[in-house]
Amino acid sequence: MPRIEIESKLMMRKKEVGFTLMETMVALVVLLAVSGVVMSGMMQMMKTEGTITNRTEMHTSVRSATELLQQEIGQAGKISLPPAPANWWQMTTPVFVPADAPVTQLVTFTGDPTTGNPVLFEGEWVTVDTGVNKEAVQLTCAAGPGNCPGLANQWQATFYYSHPQPPAAGPVPFSLPGAFATGIIPPAAGVMPAPPVGYAGYPVWPVNAPGQGSSGTVLKLYGDVNGDGNMVYVEYTCVPGTPNAPGFLYRSQVPWNSVAIPPLDPSMIVLTGVLQNPVDAKGNSVPCFTYQLQTREGANAALRDMTFVTDVAVTLTVQTSNPDPQIPLINGRPNYQTETKALLNVSPRNVFNAFEFAELDYLNRIQPTPLNIKATILPNYQ
């Protein structure tokens, strides 16, 4: 065969090399199928990531709220004086006690070193002096019990030891012993399914308001809860909602000698998306706050502030801010993820210490509720 003819046939074969139409269509179908699988996987990963992000944000928010609750419940009931320079917190009235009988007299104490404001209240136990003359005295109102609801630096007290002033002796310092028995305000009437025998709600003196104690939705506490020497009054208000209109957990704080609790507002929100808690095994609704209460002196426990909340259980159910990306709707309604967080054994250690003092009859280590809290703050019930 001539060379020219051979080269011509070889060139024709080269032109015929390539994909047929059928091969191209099959390749495109395979490519589209693979791309669809990849895109579907990526979309599922994005939805899964959204679900995880929703749950993480929800878990973080409820954990922050419960950690704050746990810290402040544990610190409730601590009594303290504001930090002061040297030579403050002294009793400035000399006391001379004869050998045969105690002396009851009016004495003056130094005030707040920064403002001069009074810091002591009726019924408070104060430890005065040091060494062999050290003693705990209870401050009383010269006008009669319950007639001095505010704070003051001058109080009546009964002394068993002399406490002379300079130059006869050194300064007479004072301190505050023990803890508040009601650092967690005891439950109101009807809150506990099985209260201790004789307990009918708190408080009953100097105001008869047994429905103003803590409840299943309002936790009331006070003391040096921030550990900075300044006592405050705190209320946690749980307002559960529905999946379409979720509620909130609020926290309000005022100085312990404040005269009112401000109304709830968005600046007090510590947790969003709060729902009603699931029912228990008996079908009963579970409140946000439940209490374990110990009492002394039976029916007079609330009257004499011998009521000790030694355990608080916190149960909060919350939902995510956004519906679940994987299943956004169920029966035409947004599908939110939910979580129930339960702290079943939060012990206010200072209140528990006061309870132990009561069990040992160390009653001068059990601080009563300041009357200004009973008379002015408690009636502002949310």
pLDDT tens for 338-367 read 889 898 889 999 999 999 999 999 999 999
Share of the chain above pLDDT 90, in %: 53
> DSSP letter at 184?
B
- Structure token pair of residue 12: 């024709």
Please report whether residue 1 resides in a domain.
no
Q: How many domains does the chain have?
A: 2
Mean pLDDT of 378-382: 59
pLDDT in the model for residue 18? 66
Q: Please tell me whether residues 147 and 227 are part of one structural domain.
A: no
370 alpha-carbon distance from chain centroid: 20
Domain range holding 203?
62-77+181-377
pLDDT value for 321: 81
Q: Would you say 340 and 280 are in contact if contact means Cβ atoms under 8 Å apart?
A: no
Least confident span in 270-279, 334-343, 345-354, 373-382: 373-382
In a domain, 325, yes or no: yes
List the single range of 21-30, 175-184, 195-204, 348-357 with lowest mean pLDDT. Answer: 21-30
C-alpha to C-alpha distances, 362 to 78, 125, 162, 301, 353, nearest whole angstrom? 17, 12, 22, 16, 11
The DSSP bridge partners found for residue 218 are 237
Q: Is residue 89 part of a domain?
A: no
Is 47 within the bounds of a domain?
A: no
Residue at which a domain ends, from 172, 195, 210 = 172
Long-range contacts of 111-116 (CB under 8 A, 24+ apart): 111/153, 112/82, 113/82, 113/84, 113/85, 113/88, 114/82
Per DSSP, 15 falls in state H
Q: How far apart are CA 234 and CA 42, in angstroms?
A: 48
Query: Do 215 and 351 fall within a single domain?
Result: yes
Place of tokens 């045969």: 100
Is residue 36 situated within a structural domain?
no
Share of the chain above pLDDT 70, in %: 89
Q: According to the model, what pLDDT value does residue 3 have? A: 62
Pair (262, 134) in one structural domain: no
Chain centroid, CA 358 distance in Å: 25
Quickly list DSSP for 99-167.
SSS-EEEEEEB---TTT----EETT-EEEE--GGG-EEEE-B-TT-TTS--SEESEEEEEESS-BPPTT
Q: Which residues contact 225 (CB under 8 A, 6 or more apart)?
A: 72, 75, 76, 78, 232, 234
Per the prediction, the chain carries an average pLDDT of 87
- Tell me the three state secondary structure of residue 282: coil
Rounded alpha-carbon distances, angstroms, from residue 111 to 36, 93, 152, 172, 191: 77, 14, 8, 14, 39
The mean pLDDT of 201-212, rounded to a whole number, is: 89
Do residues 146 and 72 share a domain? no
pTM of the model: 0.85
Position 329 scores a pLDDT of 66
- Ranked by mean pLDDT, the top range of 43-52, 78-87, 299-308 is 299-308
Lowest mean pLDDT segment, chosen from 8-12, 228-232, 298-302, 345-349? 8-12
Q: Is 168 found in the same domain as 185?
A: no
Q: What is the mean pLDDT of residues 213-236?
A: 94
Q: Are residues 167 and 185 in the same domain?
A: no
CB of 303 closer than 8 Å to CB of 295: no
Q: Give the lowest-confidence range in 162-176, 192-206, 324-338.
A: 324-338
Q: What is the largest CA-CA distance in the chain?
A: 150
Please report the pLDDT score of residue 112 as a whole number.
79
**Same domain assignment for residues 266 and 295:** yes
Task: Give the CA angle between residues 197, 202, 207 to the nearest 5°.
Answer: 130
DSSP-assigned states of every residue in 202-241 = S--SSS--TTSSB-SSEEEEEESTTSSS--EEEEEEEE-B
pLDDT-derived band of residue 382, with 50, 70 and 90 as boundaries? very low
Angle at 72 between CA 71 and CA 77, to 5 degrees: 125
Could you tell me if residue 250 is inside a domain? yes
Residue 199's pLDDT band, with cuts at 50, 70 and 90, is very high
| Rounded distance between C-alpha atoms, residue 145 and residue 141, angstroms | 6
Same domain, 242 and 211: yes
Residues 73 and 217 in one domain: yes
Whether the predicted pLDDT of 17 surpasses 70: no
Report yes or no on 373 lying in a domain: yes
> Based on the domain organization, do 220 and 332 belong to the same domain?
yes
Domain boundary among 153, 172, 191: 172
Cα–Cα nearest to 338, from 362, 309, 312, 316: 316
Segment 146-157, tens digit of pLDDT: 899 889 999 999
- Does 94 map to a domain? no
12-21, 38-47, 109-118, 358-367, range with greatest mean pLDDT: 358-367
Across the beta sheet with 135-138, the strand order is 135-138, 125-128, 174-175
Q: Which residues contact 142 (CB under 8 A, 6 or more apart)?
A: 106, 148, 156
Distance of CA 290 to the CA centre of its chain: 13
Distance CA 139, CA 253 (A): 27
Q: Quote the CA–CA distance of 55 and 135 in Å, as a whole number.
A: 56
DSSP line for 55-98: HHHHHHHHHHHHHHHHHHHHHTTB--PPP--TT-SBB-S-B---
Same domain, 206 and 165: no
Domain shared by 248 and 325, yes or no: yes
The tens digit of pLDDT for each residue in 78-131 reads 999 888 777 789 999 999 999 878 999 999 998 877 777 888 999 999 999 988
Query: Of 172, 190, 219, which marks where a domain is finished?
Result: 172
